[in-house]
């Protein structure tokens, strides 16, 4: 965040059981299903979820057969893992309709490599990456804390056989910034689905423990600014309470509004779609810039045209925190990483079934996993970046 003054800033997160996140999870499970059978699958799958109903639609291409029954089974597995066994939305009894069909030949011909032509971008568009020094994860503090509160609540829910907590939840954290740095929370809002008959005071105290655990010591907001289930009741939730769709939580998925967003969603898309892969690459590069101590915050924009391999532009903004030339850094970033769709996929090893874990609690600020998930969170370009700038 470039503002060096005193101000309040708010970000929100939603849990894995939020209706839109249920859809993101299902869509990403289907991406992983295809990639597990063919690492070069093309997948663009959207999900809709409402009361006892899930609808899958989209276009795919795969060297191996993937049946509708397999996709439907993945949808059920995802909903079961999230924890929905409610009358209005149950993994076993919900209806699942699948309208997934083959990819358009017109799109394929523009994207595929052929002869001297390298693989092109799956669409035009702009993608942003961001990193800063506000947290150990190099994420803006409001979204980082919002995610962590909900992940902590979900951990308790999954660990308890008869938890009072339900899968659907939202959090919102407002922080006071002084001279551009976060110093305390001024308000915290958490709404969490709960069991019928649960005492709201008990729910409040359960939530309080998780909030106090996540926020730094002494950062807790005043008691009259701590809001838990402000409507007083949250029994009916998830897709039964509100229809969900893939790709509706793009600010939650990225930087909580603290940085620009290109507008494209991530979930349900294979890594040839630069909406996803180039946004990951931009975050990866921005994080390595900060890790290399070249600035205290970094915004990177990439742009692409459908069917064209090279990025049309690589923009870098360090504000007044930069300790290197932004123009020179733009060239160095392109030197240390091939930013063509193929180059991104190969560098970050994205042609693997690694995307379902990213479907909730943010695609960024996560810990790289042994299976390759969150490879874009590594800081292994620092030495190469310093060498390119020297």
Q: What is the pLDDT of residues 322-334, one digit of tens each?
A: 999 999 999 999 9
Asked if residues 48 and 91 have their Cβ atoms less than 8 Å apart, the reply is no
Q: Which residues of 100-119 are buried (b: 16+ CB within 10 A; e: fewer)?
A: beebeeebeebbbeeeeeeb
- Give the lowest-confidence range in 113-122, 140-149, 322-331: 113-122
Whether the predicted pLDDT of 113 surpasses 60: no
Q: Which residue has the higher pLDDT, 119 or 266?
A: 266
Asked if residues 55 and 47 have their Cβ atoms less than 8 Å apart, the reply is yes
Q: What is the SS3 string spanning 339-382?
A: CCHHHHHHHHCCCCCCCHHHHCCCCCCCCCCCCCCCHHHCCCCH
Quick one: pLDDT at residue 142?
98
Tokens 């009361």 sit on residue: 51
Distance separating alpha carbons of residues 141 and 149, to the nearest angstrom: 12
Express each pLDDT in 220-271 by its tens digit.
Answer: 999 999 999 998 899 999 999 999 999 999 999 999 999 999 999 999 999 9
Give residue 115's pLDDT band: very low, low, confident or very high (50, 70, 90). Answer: low
The mean pLDDT of 163-173, rounded to a whole number, is 97
Quick one: pLDDT at residue 167?
98
**Domain spans in the chain, listed from the N-terminal domain onward:** 7-14+141-238, 19-111, 125-133+259-389
The mean pLDDT of 322-350, rounded to a whole number, is 97
Whether the predicted pLDDT of 10 surpasses 80: yes
Quick one: what percent of the chain has pLDDT higher than 90? 91
Quick one: pLDDT at residue 4?
82
- The chain-wide mean pLDDT, for the chain, equals 95
The secondary structure element, H or E, covering residue 192 is strand 181-194
Asked if residues 193 and 166 have their Cβ atoms less than 8 Å apart, the reply is yes
Longest CA span, the chain = 67
Distance separating alpha carbons of residues 354 and 280, to the nearest angstrom: 13
Tokens 């276009």 sit on residue: 59
Distance separating alpha carbons of residues 255 and 137, to the nearest angstrom: 12
Distance separating alpha carbons of residues 255 and 141, to the nearest angstrom: 9
Beta pairing class for 165-178 and 7-14: antiparallel
Residues in Cβ contact with 232 at an 8 Å cutoff, skipping those fewer than 6 apart: 200
Whether the predicted pLDDT of 287 surpasses 90: yes
What is the SS3 assignment for 215?
coil
The Cβ of residue 122 has, within 10 Å, a number of other Cβ atoms equal to: 26
Express each pLDDT in 11-68 by its tens digit.
Answer: 999 999 999 999 999 999 999 999 999 999 999 999 999 999 999 999 999 999 999 9
Pick the CATH number of 19-111 from 3.30.300.10, 3.40.50.2300, 3.40.225.10, 3.40.50.300: 3.30.300.10
The secondary structure element, H or E, covering residue 54 is strand 53-61
What is the CATH number assigned to the segment(s) 7-14+141-238? 3.30.300.10
Single pTM value for the model: 0.95
Residue 360 burial (CB < 10 Å; 0-12/13-18/19+)? buried
* CATH fold of 125-133+259-389: GMP Synthetase; Chain A, domain 3 (3.30.300)
71-74: list long-range contacts, CB under 8 Å, 24+ apart.
Answer: 71/30, 71/33, 71/98, 71/100, 72/96, 72/98, 74/26, 74/29, 74/30, 74/33
Quick one: pLDDT at residue 360?
98
If we measure between CA atoms, which residue out of 26, 74, 57 comes closest to residue 238? 26
Give residue 106's pLDDT band: very low, low, confident or very high (50, 70, 90). Answer: low
Partners of 194 in the β-ladder: 165
| Complete DSSP assignment for 249-298 | -HHHHTTTTSS---S---TTB-TTSHHHHHHHHHHHHHHHHHHTTS-SEE
Q: Which residue has the higher pLDDT, 2 or 362?
A: 362
């Amino acid at each position: 965040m470039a503002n060096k003054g005193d101000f309040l800033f708010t970000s929100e997160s939603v849990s894995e059981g939020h209706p839109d996140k249920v859809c993101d999870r299902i869509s990403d499970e289907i991406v992983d299903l295809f990639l597990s059978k063919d690492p070069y699958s093309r997948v663009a799958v959207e999900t809709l979820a409402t009361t006892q109903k899930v609808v899958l639609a989209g276009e795919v291409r795969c060297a191996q057969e993937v049946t509708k029954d397999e996709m439907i089974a993945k949808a059920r597995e995802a909903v079961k893992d999230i924890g929905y066994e409610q009358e209005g939305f149950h993994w076993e009894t919900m209806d699942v309709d699948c309208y997934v069909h083959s990819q358009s030949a017109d799109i394929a011909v523009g994207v595929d490599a052929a002869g001297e032509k390298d693989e092109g971008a799956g669409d035009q568009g702009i993608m942003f990456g961001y990193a800063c020094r506000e947290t150990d994860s190099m994420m803006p503090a409001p979204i980082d804390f919002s995610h962590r509160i909900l992940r902590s609540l979900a951990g308790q829910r999954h660990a308890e056989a008869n938890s009072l907590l339900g899968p659907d939840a939202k959090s919102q954290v407002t922080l006071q910034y002084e001279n551009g740095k976060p110093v305390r929370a001024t308000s915290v809002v958490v709404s969490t689905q709960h069991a019928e008959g649960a005492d709201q005071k008990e729910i409040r105290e359960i939530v309080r423990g998780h909030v106090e655990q996540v926020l730094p010591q002494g950062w807790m907001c005043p008691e009259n600014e701590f809001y838990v289930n402000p409507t007083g009741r949250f029994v009916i939730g998830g897709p039964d309470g509100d229809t969900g769709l893939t790709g509706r939580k793009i600010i939650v998925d990225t930087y909580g509004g603290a940085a620009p967003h290109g507008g494209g969603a991530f979930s349900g898309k294979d890594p040839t779609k630069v909406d996803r892969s180039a946004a990951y690459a931009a975050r990866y590069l921005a994080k390595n810039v900060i890790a290399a101590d070249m600035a205290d915050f970094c915004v990177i924009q990439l742009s692409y045209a459908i069917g064209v391999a090279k990025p049309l532009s690589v923009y870098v903004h360090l504000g007044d925190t930069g300790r290197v030339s932004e123009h020179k850094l733009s060239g160095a970033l392109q030197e240390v990483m091939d930013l063509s769709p193929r180059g991104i996929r190969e560098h970050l090893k994205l042609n693997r079934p690694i995307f379902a874990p990213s479907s909730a609690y943010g695609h960024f600020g996560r810990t790289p996993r042994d299976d390759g998930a969150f490879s874009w969170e590594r800081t292994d370009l620092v030495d190469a970046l310093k060498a390119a700038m020297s």
